[in-house]
């Protein structure tokens, strides 16, 4: 029975034709498990997950394995990107039981959804000390058939243990100077001074930490914080993690030197890093930062934008291996039918010669393509050399253009077309700010189109968010805390850039839900799911960053910005209470709470409130002042622009022109500077402590 055929998730649709009798996560699936007396196999993954594809091909497409599953289990398939709550609850159990986690996640449950056996990827035959998937299935079936009482006791104990893991780390106040200095010291200890970044392999782009470092430098002038951010950004941009031809970042580097990536490209990584590089340029004027910010923005618009104006979730790591066409040696090849990781992005010297002819040697030298290869089977990931200035810039530009065009004729990686609300909120913020900084109105228009889709499709008449949509149709899963927080963040950035107060209003509606449905009224702690959401075996609650900012920290930051815009004491108090967790965790695990540390920097700085008034939004002097305000580096500063006493923004009330000229007003901690009509003075007022 093809129960997945009408789902909106591309990952579930990839499994719709499996011989496995899959169920989506639903009450009906567990009712079937109770009726039939079978345990539940819960398989969790996502569409661009390499090992998810491997396990699907090896096991879920195998008829014998499917027959065994269909007879002895109720099989439930979950897209972790559509149901992050389900993923979080059972991943916590997997990590507690095994000490590690990852995807695909394989969990066996009782019909009451209580977990009793865990794992991730299982091979089709025993290897490297791992049992085969069939051995696991047979072992679980045997235990379920002969020792069910024991299995039930184990499951009950696991659920009780999880229930006791409530956040006991919530501090009583927001972090102050001491905690943020301790967090910086902790990051310094974990920093890799030779290669940039933090820790060893695999190495993930530390987007949220970089934002904290830039804000800390802006507030305190700490050169060490800026140096760590600069060096890490340069190393990532010069390595294979960054797509040297098409822009955009891969998910992570498998090595410490940023050379070989895991090739999937995620919207959230690119949105976060686009914004980081734009902010780095704002702080330093770095040409590299400017180029990478713009190329990453262009990548998102070119390759991830959907027909409806939103942004797709990801590009796969795998694609069909290229087979050269004998008839035309200067064109890209067709596909072999065999999917290979990185096939779209890597090059051999022979492939360079086929495209570039006599310029192939220059390209090999410039991009680090060797006969031995830096990846698998003699293939190389393109990198950018430290000494790029010694190469002829026009020649390099021609080489890049020809390689990009040739690569575009290769079989492209698959795209996960679902639109995730939270990640689109991050993209809205990044594109709006990048467009404003670099005078790219097309990027601002792209941000507006995505925001419009979120309002039209994801937001219902009660301002409740749907987590995902596809092809302009909202999915059935409710938004979680990160959706409300990140979309509010995007709307607040868009309001500051465009001067359209409606985006401030929409942000307020979303944050009202955060206060009413996601916040513990007693402690101010936040939950990842709403109080009226589906009840799982526990209510997920995680303040630490993962691949994206935690919903907890993102909500604190958005609440703080909204309070600065509106003067709402309710929202500011909620932000301060939420940031208590940063006071507790920031000095201990700064790598994993970077977004919370960044929000804390904004709180310590005020944040500063900037009102720019002019006769119209198109007046040249007004737009110059507005741009100067946006380019200020003061952490978390909010900007309102409009005509005097405009009802669009509360910050514009009682802000007249100065001698008939556009003016900017800067306030902080209930104290306002004298208004200025000078963009340079405004920039100075928003730079430094």
Full DSSP string of 115-129: EEEEES---SS-BTT
Cα(465)–Cα(459) distance, rounded to whole angstroms? 5
Query: Are 329 and 354 within 8 A, CB to CB?
Result: yes
Q: Are residues 64 and 142 in the same domain?
A: yes
Query: Are 30 and 112 within 8 A, CB to CB?
Result: yes
- Flag whether 625 is in a domain: yes
Q: Which pLDDT score, from 0 to 100, does residue 326 have?
A: 41
Q: Are residues 112 and 235 in the same domain?
A: no
Q: Residue 267's domain spans which residues? A: 182-314+417-605
Percentage of the residues of the chain whose pLDDT score is greater than 90: 81
Q: Which pLDDT score, from 0 to 100, does residue 585 have?
A: 93
| DSSP letters spanning 442-497 | HHHHHHHHHHHHIIIIIB-TTSPBBSEEETTEE-SSBP-HHHHHHHHHHHHHHHHH
Q: Are residues 616 and 601 in the same domain?
A: no
What's the pLDDT tens digit per position in 233-270?
999 999 999 999 999 999 999 999 999 999 999 999 99
Q: Are residues 255 and 368 in the same domain?
A: no
Query: Are 417 and 306 within 8 A, CB to CB?
Result: yes
- Flag whether 2 is in a domain: no
Q: Are residues 468 and 562 in the same domain?
A: yes
Query: Are 211 and 595 within 8 A, CB to CB?
Result: yes
Q: Which structure tokens are listed for 613?
A: 């008034």
Interhelix angle 481-498/551-566, rounded to 10 degrees, is: 40
- Flag whether 389 is in a domain: yes
Q: Which segments of the chain have a pLDDT < 50?
A: 168, 325-333
Q: Which structure tokens are listed for 30?
A: 């567990």
- Bridge partners (DSSP) listed for residue 261: 253
| DSSP letters spanning 144-157 | HHH-HHHHHHHHHH
Q: Are residues 600 and 615 in the same domain?
A: no
What CATH number does residue 218 fall under?
Answer: 1.50.10.10
Cα(501)–Cα(505) distance, rounded to whole angstroms? 7
Q: Are residues 402 and 469 in the same domain?
A: no
Q: Which of 163, 190, 224 is the last residue of a domain?
A: 163
What CATH number does residue 22 fall under?
Answer: 3.40.30.10
Q: Are residues 328 and 310 in the same domain?
A: no
- Flag whether 428 is in a domain: yes
Q: Which of 605, 640, 660 is the last residue of a domain?
A: 605
Query: Are 232 and 292 within 8 A, CB to CB?
Result: no
Q: Are residues 306 and 324 in the same domain?
A: no
- Which of 216, 233, 236, 231 minimizes the C-alpha distance to 278? 233
**∠ at Cα 397 (394, 402), nearest 5°?**
130
Q: Are residues 619 and 637 in the same domain?
A: yes
- Which of 658, 660, 663 minimizes the C-alpha distance to 681? 663
Q: Are residues 347 and 302 in the same domain?
A: no
Residues 585-596: b if buried by 16+ CB within 10 A, e if exposed: bbbeebbbbbbb
Put simply, whether the predicted model's pTM sits higher than 0.85 gets the answer yes
- Flag whether 522 is in a domain: yes
- Flag whether 177 is in a domain: no
Q: Are residues 399 and 331 in the same domain?
A: yes
- Flag whether 524 is in a domain: yes
Hey, is 158 helix, strand or coil?
helix
Query: Are 255 and 193 within 8 A, CB to CB?
Result: no
- Flag whether 619 is in a domain: yes
Q: Which of 412, 439, 461 is the last residue of a domain?
A: 412
> Considering its fold, how many domains does the chain have in total?
4
């Amino acid at each position: 029975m093809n129960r997945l055929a009408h789902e909106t998730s591309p990952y579930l649709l990839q499994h719709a034709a499996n011989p496995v009798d899959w169920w989506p996560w639903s009450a009906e699936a567990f009712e079937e498990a109770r009726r039939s007396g079978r345990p539940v196999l819960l398989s969790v993954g996502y569409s661009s997950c390499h090992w998810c594809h491997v396990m699907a091909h090896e096991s879920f497409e195998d008829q014998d394995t499917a027959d065994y599953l269909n007879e002895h289990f109720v099989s439930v398939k979950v897209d972790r990107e559509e149901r992050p709550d389900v993923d979080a609850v059972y991943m916590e159990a997997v990590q507690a039981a095994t000490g590690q986690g990852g995807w695909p996640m394989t969990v066996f449950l009782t019909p009451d959804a209580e977990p009793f056996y865990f794992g991730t990827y299982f091979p089709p035959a025993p290897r490297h000390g791992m049992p085969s998937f069939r051995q696991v299935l047979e072992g679980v079936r045997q235990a379920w058939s002969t020792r069910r009482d024991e299995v039930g006791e184990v499951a009950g104990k696991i659920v009780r243990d999880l229930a006791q893991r409530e956040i006991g780390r919530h501090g009583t106040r927001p972090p102050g100077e001491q905690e943020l200095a301790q967090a910086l010291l902790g990051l310094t200890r974990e920093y890799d001074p030779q290669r940039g970044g933090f820790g060893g392999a695999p190495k993930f782009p530390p987007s949220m930490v970089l934002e904290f470092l830039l804000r800390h430098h802006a507030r305190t002038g700490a050169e060490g914080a800026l140096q760590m951010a600069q060096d890490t950004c340069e190393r990532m941009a010069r390595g294979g993690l960054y797509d040297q031809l098409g822009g955009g970042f891969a998910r992570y580097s498998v090595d410490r030197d940023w050379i070989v990536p895991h090739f999937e490209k995620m919207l959230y990584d690119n949105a976060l890093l686009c914004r980081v590089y734009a902010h780095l340029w704002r702080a330093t004027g770095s040409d590299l930062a400017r180029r990478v910010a713009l190329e990453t923005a262009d990548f998102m618009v070119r390759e991830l934008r959907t027909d409806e104006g939103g942004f797709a979730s990801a590009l796969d790591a795998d694609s069909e291996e290229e087979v050269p066409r004998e008839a035309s040696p200067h064109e890209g090849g067709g596909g072999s039918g065999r999917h290979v990781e990185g096939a779209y992005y890597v090059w051999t010297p022979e492939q360079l010669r086929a495209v570039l002819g006599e310029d192939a040697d220059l390209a090999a030298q410039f991009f680090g393509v060797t006969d031995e290869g830096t990846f698998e089977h003699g293939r190389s990931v393109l990198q950018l050399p430290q000494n790029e200035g010694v190469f002829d810039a026009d020649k390099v530009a021609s080489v890049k253009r020809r390689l990009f065009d040739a690569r575009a004729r290769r079989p492209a990686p698959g795209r996960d077309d679902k639109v995730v609300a939270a990640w689109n909120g991050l993209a809205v913020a990044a594109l709006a700010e990048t467009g404003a900084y670099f005078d790219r109105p097309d990027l601002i228009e792209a941000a507006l189109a995505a925001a419009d889709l979120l309002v039209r499709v994801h937001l219902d008449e009660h301002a409740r968010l749907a987590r995902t949509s596809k092809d302009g149709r909202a999915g059935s899963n409710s938004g979680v805390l990160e959706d409300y927080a990140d979309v509010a963040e995007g709307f607040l950035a868009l309001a500051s850039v465009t001067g359209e107060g409606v985006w401030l209003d929409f942000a307020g509606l979303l944050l009202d839900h955060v206060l009413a449905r996601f916040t513990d009224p007693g402690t101010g702690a936040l939950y990842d799911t709403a109080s009226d959401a589906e009840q799982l075996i526990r209510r997920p609650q995680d303040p630490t960053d993962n691949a994206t900012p935690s919903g907890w920290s993102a909500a604190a930051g958005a609440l703080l910005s909204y309070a600065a815009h509106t003067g709402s004491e309710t929202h500011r108090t909620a932000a301060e209470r939420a940031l208590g967790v940063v006071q507790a965790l920031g000095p201990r695990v700064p790598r994993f709470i970077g977004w919370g540390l960044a929000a804390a920097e904004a709180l310590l700085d005020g944040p500063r409130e900037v009102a720019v008034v002019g006769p119209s939004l198109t007046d040249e002097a007004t737009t110059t002042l507005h741009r100067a305000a946006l380019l200020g580096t003061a952490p978390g500063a909010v900007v309102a622009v409009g005509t005097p006493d405009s009802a669009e923004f509360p910050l514009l009330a009682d802000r007249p022109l100065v001698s008939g000229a556009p003016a900017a007003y800067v306030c902080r901690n209930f104290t306002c500077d004298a208004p200025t009509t000078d963009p340079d003075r405004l920039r100075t007022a928003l730079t430094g402590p």
